[in-house]
Structures are given as structure tokens and as C-alpha cells.
């Protein structure tokens, strides 16, 4: 425990001195008698309990004065239940993600912004994450291998700082699409960190091509959803490039069969609409441990002081505390 206004410490001794002076000034004067020797007998002595009310009153005032110094606990961990989900974003970083979004084979791009696919995804995800302040969100990326970029966190501003390193060029020597391994890594992250119930765990997969190495993504999706985790897929320029191929059709069919949604996005607008649809689709409740800094203790001090003062006044109504015993 610390005090935010410890510079006001002098108020405590000053108030106690003021109380002592006032008590001295209001004290009744005694009449001298010649039979003082009689008072040595224990039957004429004041009870030791007589000072209890004033002691309690002084303690109450001392506690109240300490409350003015703004006592706080520097850091406290609390477990809270909140509306939200545990979400892992699984993002494809194959070399094709560096191409402009909307480029189709032999056709003009639908989106003339020239924005790279990965940049369009990150832009849509920033909006998506901003709409969901109560979700714990983690990030996994994959190419030849899969990597955890950020664990599950409620600190979304800190999460945005990691977005700068999410780029296909950051994975030197890689460039393939091991989607199944990326989904498995996302589930590993959820198993290790998530405290939510199964129905409140979600994987959002963003890719622009069929998996061409590693584990079968359809099998990974089935394993992930078997325990209740939902998996959604956003295909970036995937519909025209690969939808007619067997692996992609199987992947989309598996997603839908296991209760997930597939979103085709070949423009920035499509990505934003997919993110908005996911925001409306997924709601839930999670249990999270949060750190509370400088938790106020003024209320506890005030209640303690009030109890001590009330007890002091109550004891003054009992004869043994105000007279001789």
C-alpha cells in the first residue's frame, strides 16, 4: 500500500495535537479534598476501560486522516467476466500476399488503390479490433512455417505495434502456404492461454491461396472445431484464382460444414465488409485476469473510521465507560 498524497502527512499529527489541546481546554476542573489517601484504594480508582471510547475515537480520526492521503494498492490482479471472445487471427504471409489486392489473372484489378493484400488485411483488422475492445486477441502468421506474433491480449494498442512486422518480406527464405500448420498453431495458442468456454473461442483465417505444403488445412479445421472452437475463412483474391481447384473447394466446404463462414474478398471494401460481418456474428463472454494500477483504498479507510467513531459514541452510553468502577 502507498499514499498518493503523502506530502500531506503533517495533517495527521497536527490534527491529533489540535484534538489534545481542545480536550485539555474542555476538561473539567477537580476540587481538592483532604482525604486523598482514600483514593488509593482500588474501589475508588477509575476503570481502565474508561479510556476505551476516547481511544477508539482517536483511532477513528487517525484512520480518517490517513484516508485524506489517498491510499492505494500499486498493482492488483483481478479476475473479471466480460462480454468478449478469445480470438486468434491466423494470417497468410506467402509471397503472393505482397501483390496488389484485386489483381486477377488476365483482368484489370477490381480495387484500383494499389494496396498490397497484406496491407488491406491489416487495415480491415485494425477497424475490426477497434470495434471489439473486450476481446482478447492474438496473432499467428504462416508461410512455410507458423509463428506466434502476439499472444492473447486486451492491450490492443500494443497489438497494433506488432502489425508493422507482419509482412511477407519479413520471412526470408519462405513464401509457401502451410495453412494447416497456421491453424494448428492458432489452436495451440488458444489451448495454452484461453480461459473462455469452448463456444467463446474463434479462429479467423486470412489467405489468398490454397495450401501447398504442411498439414491438410481441412483436417486442422475439423480438429479445431471438434472442441467447439469456430473457424472462419476470409479468402483474399481467392475466389477467381483458386476456387475451382479441389483443395480450395474442400476447404470452403469444410468451413461451412463445421459451422464457420467463408468470405470472398477481392477489394478493400470486401475486406471491410467481411470484418464488419464477423464483428456482428461473433459475441460471447470470457474470464480474464487484468492488472489494476493504483486501486483506491479511500472507501475502506472511510468505512473503518466510521465504524470506530460510532463504536466510540456507543460506548459512551454505557456507565462503566464514563464513571468510576
pLDDT of residue 308: 81
Judge contact between 183 and 219, C-beta under 8 A.
no
Let me know whether 160 and 271 are in one domain: yes
| Nearest in space to 266 (alpha carbons), one of 239, 242, 247, 243 | 239
Per-residue burial over 3-39, b = 16 or more CB atoms within 10 Å of its CB, e = otherwise = beeeeeeeebeebeeeeeeeeeeeeeeeeeeeeeeee
Q: Which residue has the cell 518480406?
A: 169
Let me know whether 256 and 114 are in one domain: yes
In a domain, 145, yes or no: yes
Please tell me whether residue 300 adopts helix, strand or coil conformation: helix
Number of CB atoms found within 10 A of residue 89's CB: 25
Distance CA 266, CA 172 (A): 26
- Residue 106's Cβ-side half-sphere holds a number of Cα atoms within 13 Å equal to 2
Let me know whether 134 and 276 are in one domain: yes
CA angle, residues 197, 181, 211, in degrees to nearest 5: 120
In a domain, 129, yes or no: yes
Let me know whether 189 and 234 are in one domain: yes
Q: Can you spell out the DSSP letters for 66-119? A: HHTT-EEEEEEEEEEEEE--EEEEEEE--GGGGSBTT-BTTB--S-TT--BHHH
- Look up residue 283 and give its DSSP letter: -
Three-state SS for 145-165 is CEEEEEEEECCHHHHHHHHHH
In a domain, 288, yes or no: no
Let me know whether 137 and 233 are in one domain: yes
Q: State phi, psi for 82 to the nearest 5 degrees.
A: -145, 160
pLDDT of residue 111: 56
Strand order in the sheet with 71-83: 2-3, 71-83, 285-296
Let me know whether 165 and 188 are in one domain: yes
In a domain, 270, yes or no: yes
The 10s digit of each residue's pLDDT in 257-292 is 988 888 888 888 888 888 888 877 666 555 556 666
Cell numbers for 69 = 492521503
Let me know whether 69 and 141 are in one domain: no
Q: Give the residues of the chain that fall short of pLDDT 50.
A: 105-108, 240-243, 324-325
Q: What crossing angle do the helices spanning 268-281 and 117-130 adopt, rounded to 10°?
A: 30
Let me know whether 232 and 176 are in one domain: yes
In a domain, 115, yes or no: yes
In a domain, 220, yes or no: yes
Number of CB atoms found within 10 A of residue 157's CB: 8
Please tell me whether residue 286 adopts helix, strand or coil conformation: strand
pLDDT of residue 139: 95
pTM: 0.62
Q: Can you spell out the DSSP letters for 206-247? A: EESS---SSS-HHHHHHHHHHTT-EEEEEEESHHHHHTTSHH
pLDDT of residue 239: 57
In a domain, 184, yes or no: yes
Q: Where residue 242 sits, what CATH number does that domain have?
A: 3.40.50.410
In a domain, 195, yes or no: yes
The 10s digit of each residue's pLDDT in 73-132 is 766 666 656 667 889 999 999 998 988 887 654 444 555 567 889 999 999 999 889 988
Let me know whether 70 and 113 are in one domain: no
Distance CA 209, CA 176 (A): 10
* Residue range(s) defining the domain that contains residue 42: 2-75+295-321
Q: Which residue has the cell 473539567?
A: 28
pLDDT of residue 247: 77
Let me know whether 176 and 64 are in one domain: no
Let me know whether 156 and 96 are in one domain: yes
Let me know whether 126 and 270 are in one domain: yes
Could you give the number of structural domains in the chain?
2
Amino acid at each position: 500500500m502507498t499514499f498518493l498524497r503523502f506530502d500531506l502527512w503533517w495533517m495527521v499529527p497536527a490534527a491529533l495535537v489540535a484534538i489534545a489541546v481542545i480536550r485539555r481546554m474542555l476538561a473539567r476542573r477537580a476540587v481538592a479534598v483532604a482525604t486523598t489517601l482514600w483514593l488509593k484504594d482500588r474501589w475508588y480508582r477509575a476503570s481502565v476501560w474508561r479510556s476505551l471510547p476516547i481511544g477508539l475515537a482517536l483511532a477513528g480520526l487517525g484512520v480518517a486522516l490517513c484516508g485524506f492521503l489517498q491510499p492505494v494498492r500499486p498493482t492488483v490482479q483481478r479476475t473479471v467476466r466480460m462480454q468478449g471472445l478469445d480470438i486468434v487471427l491466423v494470417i497468410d504471409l506467402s509471397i503472393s500476399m505482397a501483390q496488389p489486392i484485386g489483381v486477377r489473372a488476365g483482368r484489370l484489378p477490381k480495387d484500383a488503390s494499389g494496396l498490397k493484400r497484406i496491407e488491406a488485411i491489416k487495415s480491415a483488422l485494425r477497424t475490426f479490433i477497434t470495434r471489439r475492445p473486450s476481446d482478447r486477441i492474438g496473432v499467428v502468421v504462416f508461410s512455410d512455417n507458423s509463428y506466434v506474433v502476439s499472444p492473447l491480449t486486451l492491450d490492443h494498442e500494443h497489438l497494433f505495434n506488432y502489425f508493422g512486422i507482419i509482412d511477407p518480406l519479413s520471412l526470408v527464405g519462405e513464401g509457401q502456404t502451410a495453412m494447416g500448420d497456421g491453424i494448428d498453431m492458432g489452436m495451440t495458442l488458444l489451448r495454452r492461454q484461453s480461459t473462455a468456454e469452448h463456444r467463446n473461442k474463434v479462429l479467423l483465417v486470412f489467405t489468398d491461396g490454397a495450401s501447398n505444403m504442411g498439414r491438410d488445412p481441412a483436417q486442422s479445421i475439423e480438429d479445431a472445431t471438434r472442441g467447439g472452437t469456430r473457424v472462419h475463412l476470409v479468402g483474399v483474391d481467392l475466389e477467381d484464382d483458386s476456387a475451382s481447384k479441389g483443395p480450395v473447394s474442400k476447404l470452403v466446404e469444410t468451413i461451412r460444414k463445421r459451422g464457420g463462414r467463408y468470405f470472398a474478398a477481392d477489394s478493400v471494401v470486401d475486406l471491410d465488409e467481411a470484418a464488419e460481418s464477423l464483428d456482428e456474428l461473433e459475441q460471447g463472454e470470457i474470464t480474464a485476469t487484468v492488472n489494476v494500477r493504483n486501486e483506491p483504498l479511500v472507501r475502506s479507510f472511510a468505512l473503518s473510521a466510521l465504524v470506530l467513531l460510532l463504536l466510540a459514541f456507543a460506548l459512551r452510553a454505557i456507565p462503566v465507560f464514563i464513571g468510576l468502577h
